[in-house]
Amino acid sequence: MIQSIQFVGIILIFINLTTSLIGMTVNNHQIDVSRQLSDVRYASSIQINDVMKHLDELQAIATASSGNRAVEAIGFNRTLDYITNFLSVNTEFKIKKTFFNLRNFQLLRNPTLSSTINGVVKTHIYSTNPAIGEFNYPLYTTSANISSDILITAIPNLGCPDDDWLVARPAPAGLVAIVKRGGCAFQSKGTLASKYNVAALLLYNDGITPSNMRPTKINLGQNNRVPALFLSYDLGKSLVTAANDPSQVATIRLTILTDNELNPVGNICANTTTGDPTQTIVIGSSGSAANLALAAALSSLLETSNYPTYKYRIRFCWWGAEELGFLVLITTFRKQ
């Protein structure tokens, strides 16, 4: 079991709270931090200068790396090196650096969409302004160039279970599937669309409220593998009506051009070597400098023989893509 603490607020507790006993509830688990905090040495051993020293070092890395330490920049890797070097020199912790691929999504050209219903061609309006556009592109859509007419198949219900895709007629493989919003996440619909090998996926808003009429911005998630567009309720409904009418032939052409380049992003985690590994407290934050100071102070204390034994394993983590939508949580936290 892993219990994670959003650390930004916690540092104040560690630094300011010296004598009172506190209990904390994280993810519905009661964590008894009183045992650790009843020994005031940890809190009092952390000095603001320790944190400032790291901030200065991080700034020096940015200055030497064209002014930034962002993902994909060399300053990012230098930051990882700084953290791992500091931890290996100043702690006994078990350190692990893990790289994972992050998709760097970019729309390269405005998408196009036209429909043909019984020979009548309509070119639909693309805009990121939902008040104007009939369709928008979802984040992480892949590219497609459908330059000859492809049949639309309307997925019944909301396209959340496999059954909806299995009973769709015509079968979705190689066709453009259209699915209404609702019932499950857009990501789930995208996963099923790629499982059933669609040529493209048209999602459309559900029209349930006035704000759900227009094609807003949606996200198909880092793992999406299908070309997709998000349509207004009115456009979606008219295409579904035509696709479900045996007396009509409804087809689509579209172009979507995106860059979904993969970039390696690194996480670092460092475990104490003591404490119960089945009860691990994870400490991670955007406050890399504070995190480093905390880790070093804890390591020094654990090396003093008279410091009370910890019940918990402590794991400090520095997240590579936290600011890009907490992407780290998806890849590093599997239920244990």
Ligand X SMILES: *[C@@H]1O[C@H](CO)[C@@H](O)[C@H](O)[C@H]1NC(C)=O
Choose, by CB under 6 A, the member of 271, 285, 288, 299 that binds ligand X: 271
Count of C-beta atoms within a 10 Å radius of residue 62: 17
For ligand X, give the closer residue by CB, 44 or 273.
Answer: 273
Nearest approach, Cβ of 63 to ligand X (angstroms)?
17
Opening angle at CA 113, ends 166 and 261, nearest 5 = 80
Per CB under 6 A, 277 contacts ligand X: yes
Size of the site for ligand X (CB under 6 A): 15
79 near ligand X, rule: CB under 6 A: no
User: Binding pattern to ligand X, positions 112-151, x when CB under 6 A?
Assistant: ---------------------------------x-x----
| Least distance between ligand X and beta carbon 12 (Å) | 26
Q: Which of 231, 70, 207 is nearest to 141 (CA)?
A: 231
By CB under 6 A, residue 29 contacts ligand X: no
Question: Quick check: 69 and 266 in contact, CB under 8 A?
Answer: no
| Tokens 């930034």 sit on residue | 68
- Residue nearer to ligand X on the CB measure, 19 or 147: 147
Contact between 94 and ligand X by CB under 6 A: the answer reads yes
Beta carbon nearer to ligand X, 49 or 147: 147
Instruction: Count CB atoms within 10 A of the CB of residue 191.
Output: 18
In whole angstroms, what is the distance from residue 146 CA to residue 228 CA? 12
- Closest-CA residue to 251 (of 168, 124, 153): 153
Between 84 and 244, CB nearer to ligand X? 84
User: Is the CB of 99 or the CB of 326 nearer to ligand X?
Assistant: 99
Piece in contact with ligand X (CB under 6 A), picked from 91-99, 195-203, 226-234, 327-335: 91-99
285-314 binders of ligand X (CB under 6 A): 313
Choice between 235 and 270, CB closer to ligand X: 270
What is the distance in angstroms between the CA of the first residue and the CA of the last residue of the chain? 6
Report how far residue 163's alpha carbon sits from residue 180's, in angstroms, rounded to the nearest whole number.
15
- Which sign, positive or negative, has the C-alpha torsion 275, 277, 283, 288? positive
Q: Is residue 280 near ligand X by the rule CB under 6 A?
A: yes
- Other C-beta atoms lying within 10 Å of the C-beta of residue 196: 23
The verdict on 77 binding ligand X (CB under 6 A) reads: yes
Q: Within a 10 A sphere around the Cβ of 104, how many other Cβ atoms? A: 14
- CA 275 → CA 3, 59, 146, 148, 308, distances in Å? 14, 34, 58, 63, 11
Report the nearest approach of ligand X to the CB of residue 112 (Å). 8
Q: Which is nearer to ligand X, 205 or 272 (CB)?
A: 272
Pick the closer one to ligand X by CB: 21 or 70. Answer: 70
> Is 264 an interacting residue with respect to ligand X (CB under 6 A)?
yes
Return residues touching ligand X (CB under 6 A): 74, 77, 94, 96, 99, 145, 147, 255, 257, 264, 271, 277, 280, 313, 315
